[in-house]
Structure 1
Protein backbone atom coordinates (compact mmCIF):
# COMPACT_ATOMS: atom_id res chain seq x y z
CA UNK A 1 0.00 0.00 0.00
CA UNK A 2 1.46 3.38 -0.93
CA UNK A 3 1.56 6.45 1.29
CA UNK A 4 -1.33 8.22 -0.44
CA UNK A 5 -3.59 5.21 0.03
CA UNK A 6 -2.68 5.02 3.69
CA UNK A 7 -3.36 8.72 4.18
CA UNK A 8 -6.75 8.44 2.49
CA UNK A 9 -7.65 5.53 4.74
CA UNK A 10 -6.47 7.29 7.89
CA UNK A 11 -8.53 10.39 7.04
CA UNK A 12 -11.66 8.28 7.40
CA UNK A 13 -10.78 7.29 10.97
CA UNK A 14 -12.22 9.05 14.02
CA UNK A 15 -9.96 11.84 15.36
CA UNK A 16 -9.02 9.93 18.52
CA UNK A 17 -7.76 6.98 16.43
CA UNK A 18 -5.75 9.32 14.21
CA UNK A 19 -4.22 10.92 17.28
CA UNK A 20 -3.25 7.51 18.67
CA UNK A 21 -1.62 6.69 15.33
CA UNK A 22 0.34 9.96 15.42
CA UNK A 23 1.49 9.25 18.97
CA UNK A 24 2.66 5.74 18.10
CA UNK A 25 4.49 6.90 14.96
CA UNK A 26 6.11 9.76 16.90
CA UNK A 27 7.15 7.44 19.74
CA UNK A 28 8.64 5.06 17.21
CA UNK A 29 10.63 7.86 15.63
CA UNK A 30 11.86 9.22 18.92
CA UNK A 31 13.04 5.75 19.97
CA UNK A 32 15.16 5.50 16.82
CA UNK A 33 16.27 9.10 16.52
CA UNK A 34 19.82 10.17 17.15
CA UNK A 35 20.49 13.28 19.14
CA UNK A 36 21.44 16.04 16.73
CA UNK A 37 24.85 17.58 17.27
CA UNK A 38 24.73 21.22 18.25
CA UNK A 39 26.49 23.58 15.90
CA UNK A 40 28.78 26.25 17.30
CA UNK A 41 26.25 28.86 16.16
CA UNK A 42 23.44 27.20 18.10
CA UNK A 43 25.65 26.72 21.18
CA UNK A 44 26.50 30.41 21.06
CA UNK A 45 22.82 31.37 20.78
CA UNK A 46 21.91 29.15 23.74
CA UNK A 47 24.77 30.62 25.80
CA UNK A 48 23.56 34.17 25.04
CA UNK A 49 20.01 33.28 26.03
CA UNK A 50 21.15 31.64 29.27
CA UNK A 51 23.29 34.68 30.08
CA UNK A 52 20.30 36.97 29.42
CA UNK A 53 18.15 34.86 31.73
CA UNK A 54 20.83 34.85 34.43
CA UNK A 55 21.21 38.64 34.23
CA UNK A 56 17.45 39.31 34.47
CA UNK A 57 15.52 36.25 35.69
CA UNK A 58 12.31 38.26 36.08
CA UNK A 59 12.21 39.12 32.37
CA UNK A 60 10.33 35.99 31.30
CA UNK A 61 6.88 35.07 30.05
CA UNK A 62 4.77 32.42 31.70
CA UNK A 63 3.02 29.74 29.68
CA UNK A 64 -0.26 31.52 30.45
CA UNK A 65 1.17 34.77 29.02
CA UNK A 66 2.26 33.02 25.84
CA UNK A 67 -1.05 31.21 25.43
CA UNK A 68 -3.00 34.46 25.90
CA UNK A 69 -0.81 36.21 23.34
CA UNK A 70 -1.27 33.45 20.77
CA UNK A 71 -5.02 33.30 21.31
CA UNK A 72 -5.63 37.05 21.25
CA UNK A 73 -8.10 38.33 18.66
CA UNK A 74 -6.41 39.80 15.62
Structure 2
Protein backbone atom coordinates (compact mmCIF):
# COMPACT_ATOMS: atom_id res chain seq x y z
CA UNK A 1 0.00 0.00 0.00
CA UNK A 2 1.35 3.41 -0.96
CA UNK A 3 1.82 5.94 1.80
CA UNK A 4 -0.41 8.99 1.61
CA UNK A 5 0.38 12.43 2.95
CA UNK A 6 -2.12 14.76 4.56
CA UNK A 7 -2.01 16.76 1.36
CA UNK A 8 -2.99 13.64 -0.59
CA UNK A 9 -5.87 13.01 1.77
CA UNK A 10 -7.16 16.54 1.42
CA UNK A 11 -7.42 16.00 -2.32
CA UNK A 12 -9.95 13.21 -1.77
CA UNK A 13 -13.59 14.09 -2.23
CA UNK A 14 -15.63 14.82 0.88
CA UNK A 15 -17.42 11.48 0.50
CA UNK A 16 -14.07 9.66 0.25
CA UNK A 17 -12.74 11.44 3.34
CA UNK A 18 -15.89 10.59 5.30
CA UNK A 19 -15.54 6.95 4.27
CA UNK A 20 -11.90 6.99 5.33
CA UNK A 21 -12.83 8.35 8.76
CA UNK A 22 -15.54 5.71 9.13
CA UNK A 23 -13.08 2.97 8.16
CA UNK A 24 -10.49 4.28 10.61
CA UNK A 25 -13.05 4.51 13.41
CA UNK A 26 -14.27 0.96 12.71
CA UNK A 27 -10.68 -0.28 12.94
CA UNK A 28 -10.28 1.39 16.35
CA UNK A 29 -13.68 0.24 17.62
CA UNK A 30 -12.86 -3.35 16.66
CA UNK A 31 -10.23 -3.41 19.41
CA UNK A 32 -11.57 -1.32 22.34
CA UNK A 33 -9.19 -3.05 24.75
CA UNK A 34 -6.33 -1.23 23.02
CA UNK A 35 -7.80 2.21 23.75
CA UNK A 36 -6.42 3.57 26.99
CA UNK A 37 -8.37 6.10 29.03
CA UNK A 38 -6.53 8.96 30.69
CA UNK A 39 -6.60 9.47 34.45
CA UNK A 40 -8.97 12.41 33.91
CA UNK A 41 -11.35 10.29 31.84
CA UNK A 42 -11.32 7.51 34.43
CA UNK A 43 -11.99 10.03 37.22
CA UNK A 44 -14.92 11.48 35.25
CA UNK A 45 -16.37 8.01 34.70
CA UNK A 46 -16.08 7.28 38.42
CA UNK A 47 -17.76 10.61 39.23
CA UNK A 48 -20.64 9.87 36.86
CA UNK A 49 -21.09 6.35 38.23
CA UNK A 50 -21.19 7.70 41.78
CA UNK A 51 -23.76 10.31 40.71
CA UNK A 52 -25.87 7.57 39.10
CA UNK A 53 -25.64 5.43 42.24
CA UNK A 54 -26.82 8.38 44.36
CA UNK A 55 -29.77 9.22 42.11
CA UNK A 56 -30.54 6.50 39.53
CA UNK A 57 -33.79 8.19 38.42
CA UNK A 58 -32.13 11.51 37.52
CA UNK A 59 -31.28 10.73 33.92
CA UNK A 60 -33.23 9.80 30.84
CA UNK A 61 -32.97 6.68 28.73
CA UNK A 62 -31.16 6.74 25.41
CA UNK A 63 -34.51 6.20 23.65
CA UNK A 64 -35.95 9.37 25.20
CA UNK A 65 -32.84 11.44 24.47
CA UNK A 66 -32.58 10.10 20.92
CA UNK A 67 -36.25 10.87 20.21
CA UNK A 68 -35.80 14.42 21.52
CA UNK A 69 -32.76 14.96 19.30
CA UNK A 70 -34.49 13.56 16.23
CA UNK A 71 -37.58 15.68 16.91
CA UNK A 72 -35.44 18.80 17.02
CA UNK A 73 -33.97 18.20 13.54
TM-score under structure 2 length normalisation: 0.53
1:55/1:33 CA distance change after superposition, 3 Å? closer
Q: SS at 1:72's partner residue? A: helix
Query: For 1:17-62, what per-residue CA distance to the aligned partner results, in whole angstroms no more than 9, with x for missing partners?
Result: xxxxx78xx3xx2556761211110011001000000000111211
Question: In the comparison of the two structures, how many residue pairs are matched?
Answer: 57
Question: Which runs of 5 or more residues in structure 2 are unaligned?
Answer: 1-7, 17-21
Question: Which runs of 5 or more residues in structure 1 are unaligned?
Answer: 8-21
TM-score under structure 1 length normalisation: 0.53
1:35/1:64 CA distance change after superposition, 3 Å? same
CA distance in 1, matches of 2:56, 2:32: 33
Name the larger-Rg structure: 1
CA RMSD across the alignment:
3.3
1:69/1:36 CA distance change after superposition, 3 Å? same
